[in-house]
Structure 1
């Protein structure tokens, strides 16, 4: 019998390593807020007037789901301090990679990431899970 993977995806953000987790709780909340996890690409579309707010909400949710039991929860306001225009695309890419790990056990995202002007995203350091 093989060990069950915990599905968490490590990232470096806010000055420390944290983990993103697409748990069933997170998927349920995403479904309630966006209508389904299949809407993630639309959430990150810069034509969506709430894309920044949605990115903060989603990152806070996933960090809190991936946190250890004794870790304090992070707020959207804290997450908003960690994300800026220089790393928001990397953050979104990390979220999609976490989705792939949490749902497929893969290391590659299964959803296309819209970038600026709908071009491909430069993932930079996201391959290592680092977001500055």
Structure 2
């Protein structure tokens, strides 16, 4: 049984936008960086800006195919970066099945408080 929740995560950037990690998004991330789990981990825990921008672009372009990586980079500032990371973590979590072939999926790490 596939328990993937097809609910996009909304985030206010230049306007309200929606993120959903579809198979197309996961393929784009995999094509660019390889292992999807490692990429998500790097983006969320290491706060690698290049990876965050790329993953955010991949997630947003499902809703807006004309969106460029550079446009996404202009939408993310140091002020909204924590919310961007939070929204990405939520979108990744919502796109992950609760159980795949009897295995529990990797959960995004809880955000750390500064």
Q: What TM-score do the two structures reach when normalised by structure 2?
A: 0.73
Q: Counterpart in 1 of 2:17?
A: 18
Checking the alignment, whether the CA contact within 8 Å between 1:21 and 1:63 is kept in structure 2 is: yes
Q: Are 1:84 and 2:77 an aligned pair?
A: yes
Q: Which runs of 4+ in 1 moved over 3 A?
A: 4-7
Aligned mate of 2:107, from 110, 120, 125: 110
Residues in 1 aligned to 2:80 and 2:71: alpha-carbon distance in whole angstroms: 15
Query: Cα offset for 1:60?
Result: 1.1
Structure 1 gaps, min length 5:
115-119, 123-132
Classify the secondary structure of the residue corresponding to 2:87.
helix
Q: What TM-score do the two structures reach when normalised by structure 1?
A: 0.65
Aligned length: 102
- Superposed CA RMSD in Å reads 2.5
Q: Relative contact order: is structure 1 or structure 2 higher (C-alpha 8 Å, sep ≥ 6)?
A: 2
Structure 1 residues 121 and 90: CA distance shift in structure 2, 3 A: farther
Q: Are 1:43 and 2:43 an aligned pair?
A: yes
